[in-house]
Chain A
């Protein structure tokens, strides 16, 4: 089974802190994604990566950055956490075939609260 592991299930941080969310996948997938999920707003794409050291902005990249130093690991960084970044953060990976068989697999999520 594909496994996408997020390092923390729950995190509580203070405004202004630098926050790191870590994600590891074990299926040698090319693509990795960070989403946030908020009630009434659904899933919104923050950043994604098609390859090591590559990154692309999603729909809502402001206030975030990412790092992909190894194929299996994709980190989301909140440079200076703010209360409006309180959310459920979901990491995902996909096969990267871009066509038939392209499937997205999610981690269990990190519920981040910024106080």
Chain B
């Protein structure tokens, strides 16, 4: 079993839809959780960062962490064509290196 599993996608949704992207993990030592967005042929950019269970909101984006279930989600409201990208979840235990999910490719169709 991989340390971090992510919905494989690809995912296609119509503009304006609510998108849910999900990751599960097996290592209870993971403390800090991130979502990265990666446009085609570009490097990943940090989108959201959180370290506690619960929800964190930033504009149209909400990151949700459930440490008891070892599950994190990213919700995108009112999705736009500009949200079309690959989304990577990442997590890190204290004092160790980052671990990434394989990514989910999202297409938002106008």
Residues in A81-115 with C-beta less than 8 Å from chain B: 88, 90, 92, 94, 98-100, 102-109, 111
Interface residues contributed by chain B, number (CB under 8 Å): 23
A108 touches B32 (CB 8 A): no
The 8 Å CB contact of A102, one of B32, B42, B100, is: B32
B42 touches A108 (CB 8 A): yes
B32 touches A100 (CB 8 A): yes
A43 located at the interface, meaning its Cβ lies under 8 Å from any Cβ of chain B in the complex: yes
Interface residues contributed by chain A, number (CB under 8 Å): 26
B43 touches A108 (CB 8 A): yes
Complex formed: what's the CA distance from A42 to B43 in Å?
13
Q: Of all chain B residues, which has the CB nearest A88?
A: B41
Interface residues of A (CB under 8 A from B): 4, 6, 33, 40-43, 45, 48, 58, 88, 90, 92, 94, 98-100, 102-109, 111
Interface residues of B (CB under 8 A from A): 31-32, 34, 36, 41-46, 49, 51, 88, 90, 92, 94-95, 97-98, 100-103
Known: A90-B44, A107-B43, A111-B41. 15 other contacts (CB 8 A): A4-B43, A33-B97, A41-B102, A42-B100, A42-B102, A42-B103, A45-B97, A98-B95, A99-B31, A100-B32, A102-B92, A104-B98, A106-B44, A109-B41, A109-B43
